[in-house]
Amino acid sequence: MKQSKLEIKRIDDYRWELPKQGGMRVPGKIFADKRLMDDIHLGQSIQQVANVAHLPGILSASLAMPDIHWGYGFPIGGVAAMDAEEGVISPGGVGYDINCGVRFIRTSITRKEIMPKIRELVNSLYNAIPTGVGSSSSLKLTIPEEKRLLTSGAEWAVERGFGTGSDLERIEENGRLKSADPSVLSKRALERGASQIGTLGSGNHFLEIGYIDEIYDEKIADTLGLQLDNVSVIIHTGSRGFGYQVCDDNLKVMMNCVRKYGIELPDRQLACTPIKSDEGRSYFAAMSSAANYAWANRQVIMHWTKKTFYKVLNASPQALQMNLVYDLCHNIAKFEEYEINGKMRKVCVHRKGATRALPPGHPNTPDVYKSVGQPVLIPGDMGRYSYVLIGTEQAVKETFGSTCHGAGRQLSRRQAVKACKGRNIYKELEEQGIIVQSHGRRTVLEEIPEAYKDVKNVVDVVHNAGISKKVARHRPLGVIKG
C-alpha cells in the first residue's frame, strides 16, 4: 500500500491534524499514537477523513478515532457534526448496519463457578439465539406489529415480556428514537425485518461470555455493578437485514439528491442531502426506525441469554443477578447540542464506528449514571479483551461527546482467511481457554484476533487523550458467532 500524501501535523502524543487542503471546509483531526498512526497512514482512511471535511455544513473538524479504517464513504471510526439548519445528512456517515451497537450485562457469579458449565453454556446459547447470514427468528411479526416495534424500540420488547422497565433506563435514548416513522419505509425493508428480530447475524457480530479481569477505577466500577472475577456478557449486533435495506434504499435517493441540490463531492459514496430537505427528513425517519429495530433486537437477545443462563446453571434470577449495565450504538446520526465558538449549536452528529461518551451531570447522561458519567463499551476481538470506559467533559469539548467503538480492522476479510491457511483457529482459541461456536467456519477465519488492532492500544489512546476513561476490562471465555 502507498502512504497517504496528505499533509499531516502532529499536535501531541495522541492527536494529529489534517490542515484544510483543497476543498476541505474544516480541518481533520485524528486520535492516535505514533504506532497506530503508522498503520493508519498505509490505508485509505486518512483520505476519507479529508473527503468528509468537504461536506456542506460540517462544523469544527472531520474527526477520526484510533480504531479508524476504511469504510463506505466515511471511514469507520469517523465522527462529523453538521449544522442542523444548513448541513447535510449522509447514509455513509451512519453505515449499512444502522445502530450496530453493544450491550453489556453483569452478573454476581464468578469465573470459577461458571467454568464447569462453560462449554454447555456456549452450545446452549448457540442453539437459543439464531446466528448466521439471513438467520430468522421464532418471532414472526405481522407488518402492523413490526411497525409498532419500529415506533417503540426496546419498549416494544419490554411490553411483551422481554425484560423490565429498568432496562430502558440503561439504554442510550432509553432504547427509542421518537423520530421513527415506518410510513417512509419500503415494502422490501419491512419484509426483511419481519423475521429477524432476536437474531445475531454474522460478520463481526457476536455474543460473548467473559469475566472482569482488571478494574482501573473501583468507585466507578462499583457504581456500574462490576466486580473483579465476576462473569459478564457482551452482545454485539444491530438492525440486521432491515437496517441494510433502509440504507440501500436511501443511498439510491441520495445519489439523485446530489444532482438535485448541486452538491459537489470528492467521492460519490458520500452521497447526501440537506438535512432540512424532504429526502433528509425521510432518511432520518427511516434511520430512526432501524435504530429502534436494533434496540429491540438486542433486548430480545438479552432476554433469551438470561433464560439460557438460568436453565444451564439451574439458578434463579435472584441468584445470578444478571443485569444490564448499558446499551449503546456506534452507527447512528442524532441531533444534539454542543458549544461551538462560545455559542450553543444544534447539530446532527454522524457517528460511524464511534460511540457517544458523555460526562457526569450532562443532561443526556442517564439518570442512573449521572454521578459517574455514561458507560462506554469497547469490544475487542474474540481472543483478547474488551473494555468498559466512562464519558468525559473533554469529549464534549473536543469530539461532540464521542470516542472509539472497538479495535478496528487491520486485515481485510480476505487477508484474514489467507492468514489462516493450515491453521485450526477453534483449537488455537480453545488452548487459550476460549470456546467458540459458529454457524460457519469462514466467519471465524475472517474474525481471527490478528485481523484486528490490539484494542488495548486503541483504548489507551482515548484514555490518555482524555475523551473517555478506563473503568474495567472483560476477558472472553466463550463466544458464539454467525
Q: Per-domain residue ranges for the chain?
A: 9-87+101-481
Q: Which residues have C-beta within 8 Å of that of residue 20, sequence separation ≥ 6?
A: 26, 27, 53
Measured distance CA(57)–CA(346) in Å, rounded: 12
Nearest to 311 by CA among 125, 138, 471: 125
Q: pLDDT confidence of 43, banded at 50, 70, 90? A: confident
DSSP state, residue 403: E
Q: Which residues have C-beta within 8 Å of that of residue 329, sequence separation ≥ 6?
A: 99, 100, 101, 172, 291, 294, 295, 351, 355, 356
Nearest to 91 by CA among 67, 61, 71, 116: 71
* pLDDT at position 437: 94
Report the CATH number of the 9-87+101-481 domain: 3.90.1860.10
* Catalytic residue ranges: 405
Q: Which residues have C-beta within 8 Å of that of residue 463, sequence separation ≥ 6?
A: 389, 469, 470
Residue 3 has pLDDT above 80, yes or no: no
Measured distance CA(52)–CA(24) in Å, rounded: 8
pTM for this predicted structure: 0.96
Selected residue with higher pLDDT from 132 and 335? 335
> pLDDT, tens digit, for every residue of 52-92?
999 999 999 999 999 999 999 999 999 999 999 999 999 99
Contact 469, 217 (CB under 8 A): yes
C-alpha cell at 114: 461458571
Measured distance CA(330)–CA(328) in Å, rounded: 7
Measured distance CA(46)–CA(18) in Å, rounded: 9
Measured distance CA(11)–CA(63) in Å, rounded: 14
Please state which of the ranges 268-282, 316-330, 368-382, 426-440 shows the lowest mean pLDDT: 426-440
> pLDDT, tens digit, for every residue of 226-254?
999 999 999 999 999 999 999 999 999 99
Average pLDDT, the chain: 96
Measured distance CA(406)–CA(244) in Å, rounded: 21
Q: Compute the average pLDDT of residues 378-394.
A: 96
Q: pLDDT confidence of 140, banded at 50, 70, 90? A: confident
* pLDDT at position 328: 97
